[in-house]
């Protein structure tokens, strides 16, 4: 009997010590307990709330394509499918320029079953964006996010109408930002994602985990290179600027100097005696352009635009493009080893194909 009593007391003492130790661990290291239920960094099990916020504003575009193949030599009723995004309650719809290029008419179909013909407000082939206008009441509009705060690894959802099968949502992450040098447009600053972007998704929405628009999907790169798992979207910050210009002017007004440039490598900069170690070299100066009138020549090296260092040619292009025509800009650089400074008056960038 004494042995049994001793064993019971021992077990009770062990249990008490164990509970006390567990209390200390929970008190001092609460993350260890929480990680068992909800691992650190784990996302939600569903993104249906984000989809319900964004999806109603993503529309299907059906176009009649111009064709000279028929006996009437006019319009052929060929459907060209793509996507678009309703940006506000006034009926402005953003899409890709290549989706509507060459079409005779455009019908916009909403997820609630309504449809409307669309007028083209303006296009911007330089960014592959186009703005449409529809006339319907009580329109859903997509909430706008910010593309400049996106981080690699952020969850994103691509919403569109691929392969004529109906609205589809795919999920992925931001694989990269500020992607350029893809040869798709002069003003490349793409968001790269592994969310599936297929034929028909062009012009659709790339949204964050809250359902806010962060980009407009484009399938160009994936189709051209027949690549798997790589999609690109035009950042919403760029989209907003283009949309504002198209509403105000019917076109995008950009600054222009009339030069072709290349980025200098560090070795080239050193060989040219550039103390800064960076710069862009002019490979062509268009006759009669602002750069030509300012006295710039091929092989000139530009290191600063006003007081902004010029490290890569894409940044220089975007910097000048943001300037209003008529703006006077100071260019600093080197010519044959000698530093120079010139002043040029920015002109309006010619439209593509307009010289």
Residues 261, 110 contacting (CB under 8 angstroms): no
Radius of gyration of the chain (CA): 28
Residue 63: count other Cβ atoms within 10 Å of its Cβ: 20
Catalytic residue list: 98, 128, 202
User: Torsion over CA of 168, 174, 178 and 179, rounded to 10 degrees?
Assistant: -70
**Beta bridge mates, 96:** 129
The structure tokens listed for 171 are 């999920």
Question: If we measure between CA atoms, which residue out of 131, 135, 346 comes closest to residue 244?
Answer: 131
Q: What is the spatial distance between Cα 15 and Cα 154, in angstroms, rounded to a whole number?
A: 45
Residues 231, 193 contacting (CB under 8 angstroms): yes
**Beta bridge mates, 285:** 259
Q: What is the spatial distance between Cα 47 and Cα 285, in angstroms, rounded to a whole number?
A: 51
Residue 208: count other Cβ atoms within 10 Å of its Cβ: 24
Helix axis angle, 2-28 to 30-37, nearest 10°: 90
Sheet-wide strand order for 92-96 = 115-117, 103-109, 58-66, 75-86, 92-96, 129-133, 119-124
Q: What is the spatial distance between Cα 177 and Cα 241, in angstroms, rounded to a whole number?
A: 18
């Amino acid at each position: 009997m004494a042995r049994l009593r001793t064993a019971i007391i021992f077990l009770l003492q062990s249990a008490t010590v164990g509970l006390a130790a567990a209390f200390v661990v929970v008190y001092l290291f609460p993350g260890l307990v929480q990680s068992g239920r909800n691992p650190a960094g784990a996302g939600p099990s569903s993104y249906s709330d984000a989809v319900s916020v964004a999806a109603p504003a993503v529309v299907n575009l059906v176009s009649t394509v111009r064709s000279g193949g028929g006996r009437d030599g006019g319009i052929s009723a060929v459907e060209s499918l793509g996507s678009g995004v309703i940006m506000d309650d006034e009926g402005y719809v953003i899409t890709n320029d290549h989706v509507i290029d060459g079409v005779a008419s455009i019908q916009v179909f909403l997820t609630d079953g309504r449809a409307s013909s669309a007028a083209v407000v303006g296009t911007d082939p330089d960014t592959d964006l186009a703005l449409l206008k529809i006339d319907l009441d009580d329109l859903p509009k997509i909430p706008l996010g910010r593309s400049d705060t996106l981080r690699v690894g952020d969850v994103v959802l691509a919403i569109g109408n691929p392969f004529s099968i109906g609205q589809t949502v795919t999920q992925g992450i931001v694989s990269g930002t500020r992607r350029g040098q893809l040869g798709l447009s002069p003003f490349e600053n793409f968001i790269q994602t592994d969310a599936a972007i297929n034929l028909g998704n062009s012009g659709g929405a790339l949204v964050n985990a809250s359902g806010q628009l962060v980009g407009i999907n484009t399938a160009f790169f994936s189709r051209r290179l027949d690549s798997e798992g790589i999609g690109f979207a035009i950042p919403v910050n760029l989209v907003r600027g283009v949309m504002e210009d198209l509403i105000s002017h019917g076109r995008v007004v950009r600054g222009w100097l009339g030069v072709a440039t290349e980025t200098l490598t560090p070795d080239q900069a050193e060989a040219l005696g550039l103390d800064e170690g960076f710069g862009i070299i002019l490979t062509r100066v268009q006759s009669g352009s602002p750069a030509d009138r300012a006295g710039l020549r091929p092989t000139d090296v530009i290191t600063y635009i006003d007081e902004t260092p010029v490290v890569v040619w894409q940044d220089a292009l975007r910097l000048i493009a943001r300037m209003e025509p008529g703006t006077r800009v100071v260019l600093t650089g080197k010519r044959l080893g000698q530093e120079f400074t010139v002043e040029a008056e920015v002109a309006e960038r010619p439209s593509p194909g307009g010289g």
